[in-house]
């Protein structure tokens, strides 16, 4: 994952021309057998590589229906969270101010949030009307039916689950350490999957070879955004949004989910990035939207997201 500068050849070693270098590279590729995806396809779990400011690590991710999963237990993690502790104090001391999200990002987003709240308030006032008791009863029945339907749909929704334990993401610095952990039978949230035993019996370090689409560089996001609109790496930022949403859901990080939710400034950035890579009229409009998005707001928001994800990582050697 780390981008390394090419090394200078040794003075005593003969330099290879382009043809010889290409042939040598091809020979190396031939000697390296392709990773066998059969096991991953059978167990419906994938290896994932994530780069964070503290380092790069391997983990596992799967997608299952929400009704099949027991969410990770965050009680122990949240007891040690200073932000949550401060919020509990504020509930009893109204004069103390707390900002759960990054203060600079929240300040830059305040004007937009106030505008949205005013619109919602106007809509609520406009929609108020007197209704009869019969109407209220009928509305209550309809609401209950809608709630049941929403619960059924939520249960059928496919959601992400990672190699986590007690609200923390387990990241391993080497494939060997990841395989050793899986074989050890140590408790984790993926062990609830019906294919977990098969994976633990058959997995080898050589199998830990994430696909390109399962490799994420969260460590580069903030620096890339700070470079300005012309320097933004669309693929990097889109993939960062995908993994951040998955991690926020699986790790139960509501603050991160809120920052990436529909209508937020970072969600607008994501939509504009996706539109801009599609080409045509949609791509042109997407690029125009990107120019209106503040680089400072975006970089500060992503700094908060990467920080909150990093704070719940359990690094394993």
Give the span between the Cα atoms of 174 and 190, in whole angstroms: 19
Q: Which residue has the higher pLDDT, 11 or 134?
A: 134
Please state the rounded mean pLDDT for residues 78-101.
50
226-254 pLDDT, tens digit per residue, is 998 889 999 999 999 999 999 999 999 99
At 27-52, the pLDDT tens digits run 544 444 456 799 999 999 999 999 99
Nearest to 304 by CA among 75, 86, 106: 106
* Three-state SS at 207: helix
157-182 per-position pLDDT tens digit: 999 999 999 999 999 999 999 999 99
Structure confidence at residue 11 (pLDDT) = 46
Q: What token pair was written down for 247?
A: 């991690």
Rounded CA-CA distance 298/244 in Å is 14
| Mean pLDDT, rounded, of the chain | 79
pLDDT value of position 36 = 73
Domain residue limits, the chain: 35-79+159-316
- For the beta carbon of residue 168, count every other beta carbon within 10 angstroms: 18
**How, if at all, do strands 164-165 and 168-172 pair?**
antiparallel
The reply to whether the predicted model has a pTM over 0.95 is no
């Amino acid at each position: 994952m780390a981008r390394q500068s090419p090394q200078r050849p040794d003075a005593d070693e003969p330099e290879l021309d382009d043809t010889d270098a290409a042939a040598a590279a091809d020979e190396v590729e031939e000697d390296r057998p392709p990773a066998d995806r059969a096991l991953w396809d059978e167990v419906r779990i994938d290896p994932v590589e994530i780069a964070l400011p503290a380092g790069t690590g391997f983990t596992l991710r799967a997608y299952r229906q929400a009704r099949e999963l027991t969410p990770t237990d965050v009680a122990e993690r949240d007891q040690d969270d200073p932000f949550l502790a401060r919020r509990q104090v504020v509930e009893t001391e109204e004069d103390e101010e707390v900002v759960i999200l990054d203060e600079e990002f929240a300040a830059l987003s305040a004007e937009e949030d106030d505008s949205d709240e005013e619109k919602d308030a106007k809509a609520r006032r406009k929609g108020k009307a007197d209704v009869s008791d019969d109407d209220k009863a009928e509305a209550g029945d309809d609401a209950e039916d809608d709630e049941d339907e929403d619960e059924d749909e939520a249960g059928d929704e496919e959601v992400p689950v990672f190699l986590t334990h007690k609200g923390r993401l387990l990241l391993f610095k080497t494939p060997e350490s990841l395989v050793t952990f899986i074989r050890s039978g140590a408790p984790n949230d993926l062990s609830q999957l019906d294919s977990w035993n098969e994976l633990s019996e058959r997995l080898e370090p050589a199998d830990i070879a994430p696909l390109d689409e399962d490799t994420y560089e969260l460590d580069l996001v903030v620096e890339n955004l700070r470079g300005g609109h012309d320097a933004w790496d669309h693929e990097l930022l889109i993939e960062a949004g995908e993994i951040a949403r998955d991690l926020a859901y699986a790790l139960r990080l509501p603050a991160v989910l809120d920052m990436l939710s529909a209508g937020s400034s970072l969600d607008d950035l994501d939509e504009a990035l996706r539109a801009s890579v599609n080409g045509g009229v949609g791509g042109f409009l997407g690029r125009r939207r990107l120019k209106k998005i503040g680089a400072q707001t975006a970089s500060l928001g992503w700094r908060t997201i990467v920080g909150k994800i990093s704070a719940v990582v359990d690094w394993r050697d």
